[in-house]
Structure 1
């Protein structure tokens, strides 16, 4: 079968190759992948920034397709079903935090950027019927991450003012869409005026350019402060977030692309009783609740561009350059 694998011996670091999968384990299903989607972790693997890298492994965590083979008769009810794949592996029994064996599909185990993927039967759920293959492929990792950050860790309540930073990427898009569907007043930040304009078209009340020094004062003037902030940057932007969150408010961060902050306004955090909460991916329960929420509100993922398998390097480069507005999708089979 065709698959996009990591190959650090060549300049592009990825290669469209012909590979064979091992026989199915008894608890596994084989899914014919219709579409897959990229996440930052795929590009980080290509750059050698992710741990436990192995050349020859199929990349990709997001995917949707049709079950074509099952490992035992008890799973035959899945045959022919349209499914999406939960890429969070081995979360564990504790809903509050992932266990030591937690992994994400696509490294070190074979992922979804292939004609077929084999996963445990407990990793599949029925594809939302109102979604296209491209939309369904875009949902799993980013949708799960956004849902846990916003609803589980953030405890979003109807009518609250929410700021989603770095609007443009997949998780930020979903966080904004989920917050809107849940009845929040939603605001975004971005360095791109085009992305802020696109956010307004989704129903976002206002956007702020975080490259401008005055954005903190602007945000306070417009909103009076935020009840909840969803962030993936951290770094030296953290003190700005502390300045725009309300006393008693929550800041949830699901990444730290800007690294650790060089300064930290601890006094304001404890005096204003601000809560700083970490979040990552989500449990199986979170995934099921996220799917129920998406189905209830008929939320369509925002797609950036769709590429073919042969155009994988272009897709990865678009992710690397931060050009996307929504999810980058690779169409595997029509």
Structure 2
């Protein structure tokens, strides 16, 4: 009996020691900070597991390290990034991408938490922009290089039909539209459709069941936009007899047709070439739905831009004023500080807070 109890006790002690040797929760952070080396991948992963299980506990330890003036949080993120998330030898692209998304999604809600906001934003900024998905070449959709916002139309000869499409891009992923179609003579039946389409690269799709059946349209942007009915007929799309939206619509304007008169005036004033008053080599061109940076005569970057009368939350604005958001591989938001017919002042949101001053050339 004594031997049996001794074996049982020894087994219990062994289990406790094994469990104690495995860093968990706050202990995982202690193990990592004690290791403090680029070879501490096991310890980094233990912190990752603890973070996914109890983010508040790890954020608390992050804050403590920051208050002590150490760079352990930076070290943990860099090792996690370079030795795990971007290391093709660690796991498959799909597994690493899934891990990245798990960490970012857990951290995101804490960006609104007064106690953990700074650390949460740091984690999201450092890990959220990693282009792991770009390794999945077949699944990558390149962002559009041409702006969506504008007015498009077509008119067939001999009064055989016409159409007009108004588009306003509201984010990198969506645009709102109003589509008006007129059928051929002599009936001139009409059709009107409004909604929000989902963008995927240079194409978009829209679906509605408003008229008793499914109507699905695709928008293929290139030299204008080609609309194709994927599902439905005139009745289920809410159009008159014999009326279809299908066709190639040519762009007639880059201006956002949904802006108020006051905002449309501002956007019109924005158009042109702006010379920096702070750096004679720096020029910004804003035209035809694009924001183009030029330095010393060379084009540095070009991106679609969207004007917002009220800066959206995803730009993290400091006030509710107007802003410009460039959409591409890296989205950037600029607060519109001041604008006249001859002068422009922009401030990069989340930047150093300095104002860039320009004069129209």
TM class by shorter chain equals: under 0.3
Query: Which of structures 1 and 2 has the bigger CA Rg?
Result: 2
The two structures have a TM-score, normalised by structure 1, of 0.22
Q: Scaled by the length of structure 2, what TM-score is found? A: 0.21
Which structure carries more strand by proportion? 2
